Amino acid sequence: MGRCAGRQLTGRMTQMTQDTARNMTVVVTGATGRTGGRVARAAGAAGLTVRAASRATGFDWGDRSTWAQALRGADAAYLAYPTDVGSPEAARAVGEIAREAVGLGVRRLVLLSARGEERALPTEKGLRESGAQWTIVRAAWFAQNFSEGPLVEELRLGGGLVFPAAEGVREPFVDVRDIADVVVAALTSGDRYVGQEIDVTGPRLLTWGEAIAEIAGATGRGLTYRSVPAREYHAHLTAFGVPPQEADFLVELFEELLDGRNAHLSDGVREVLGREPRDFTDFAREAAGAGTWG
Ligand SMILES: NC(=O)c1ccc[n+]([C@@H]2O[C@H](COP(=O)([O-])OP(=O)(O)OC[C@H]3O[C@@H](n4cnc5c(N)ncnc54)[C@H](OP(=O)(O)O)[C@@H]3O)[C@@H](O)[C@H]2O)c1
């Protein structure tokens, strides 16, 4: 293709994306959370009309009677199930909300799932069987788990992190801003990503110890990493105030996921966005600069 024709085509596609976005209202669940907050911002920047859905706006995953008012009149929805996409409650609720959404004419649904999490497969199945125009974004472990959420206090107030990932286990930590950009690109690309699973990771494999060393380097603090067996981590979680039942679920989940199965890169970010994923070093530097870890 000649350079001129290519440029014209790119221009037409950008116009199409803008037109699609201008007419689209997207419901963003978890809009006050790590991914939902970024999806809402990225969708707004792309020209979509964003309808935030969390308990603050009267939407409750645990109360079906609140779903229709959040969905009615929208075109699309981003589904991020708290606390984990692999919980039995997630499988039930995602299937049910997806069917309800389709019934209300909200056909375009993007689900946040987790890479390598076999427990999430029933949740993904519920979405696929709903009749929706679905896309599943399977994310690696978030870089922002270290900067937002329960681990941040331990890093800020203690001398490091205790976690049940063995020294040799490596993970391609993904920046949640990349997840959001992929979600919005999937929503604004017509039917290009309908019926697809997109695996998104960062550009590099790091052990948990290396991730903490990056944060230590960025903050100038002598943070350390200590790996503990999953069972021992249960006591650690409950000491931090996690209810025992949730700790049971998390420990089982970590035992399943932290066996090295996810120690490989995926190219979803590059394929969808045409650029490299954000690197952990940049994430650590930015979060340290914002005073995240004191
Ligand atoms: N962490 C990881 O590394 C990772 C990796 C892959 C996939 N995931 C998946 O990511 C998902 C979580 O997404 P996230 O980390 O972006 O969320 P998050 O930061 O944990 O925030 C949870 C969001 O859900 C809302 N919420 C909580 N309970 C609710 C309820 N009963 N009804 C309605 N909204 C509720 C919260 O808002 P309000 O409190 O205001 O209601 C908040 O906006 C999970 O499904 C998890 O499996 C996580």
DSSP 258: S
The pLDDT confidence band at residue 149, using thresholds 50, 70 and 90, is: confident
219: which 2 tokens? 């903050």
> How much is the CA Rg of the chain, to the nearest whole Å?
20
Most informative mutation of 27, 28, 32, 89 for ligand 1 (most atoms within 8 A of CB): 32
In this predicted structure, the answer to whether residue 240 has a pLDDT above a threshold of 70 is yes
242: which 2 tokens? 């996690």
Q: Which residue in the block uniquely carries the two structure tokens 């930015």?
A: 286
- Neighbouring-strand partners of residue 184: none
Q: What is the mean pLDDT of residues 79-90?
A: 95
Check: CB of residue 95 under 8 Å from CB of residue 44: no
At residue 162, φ and ψ (nearest 5 deg) are -110, 130
CA of 35 to the centre of ligand 1 (A): 8
Q: What is the mean pLDDT of residues 243-248?
A: 92
How far is C-alpha 99 from the geometric centre of its chain's CA atoms? 22
CATH number for the domain running over 3-286: 3.40.50.720
The pLDDT confidence band at residue 3, using thresholds 50, 70 and 90, is: very low
CA of 85 to the centre of ligand 1 (A): 9
Q: What is the mean pLDDT of residues 55-65?
A: 97
In this predicted structure, the answer to whether residue 10 has a pLDDT above a threshold of 90 is no
Mean pLDDT of the chain: 93
All residues at 6 or more sequence positions from 252 whose CB lies less than 8 Å from its CB, including other chains: 230
Going by alpha carbons, the residue nearest to atom 25 of ligand 1 is 30
Going by alpha carbons, the residue nearest to atom 21 of ligand 1 is 33
Taking the C-alpha atoms of residue 17 and residue 190, their distance in angstroms, rounded to an integer, is 8
Check: CB of residue 190 under 8 Å from CB of residue 266: no
289: which 2 tokens? 């600069």
Going by alpha carbons, the residue nearest to atom 15 of ligand 1 is 34
CA of 142 to the centre of ligand 1 (A): 12
Taking the C-alpha atoms of residue 42 and residue 208, their distance in angstroms, rounded to an integer, is 29
Taking the C-alpha atoms of residue 277 and residue 87, their distance in angstroms, rounded to an integer, is 28
DSSP 174: B
Taking the C-alpha atoms of residue 161 and residue 45, their distance in angstroms, rounded to an integer, is 35
Give CA separation, 25 vs 57, 177, 196, in Å: 16, 20, 21
Q: Where are the alpha helices (DSSP H) in the chain?
A: 3-22, 34-45, 67-71, 88-103, 121-128, 150-157, 176-187, 208-219, 230-239, 244-257, 268-273, 280-289
pLDDT for res 130: 98
CA of 112 to the centre of ligand 1 (A): 10
**What are the extents of the domains in the chain?**
3-286
Give CA separation, 240 vs 111, 112, 162, 254, in Å: 30, 27, 12, 17
Taking the C-alpha atoms of residue 85 and residue 87, their distance in angstroms, rounded to an integer, is 6
The pLDDT confidence band at residue 83, using thresholds 50, 70 and 90, is: confident
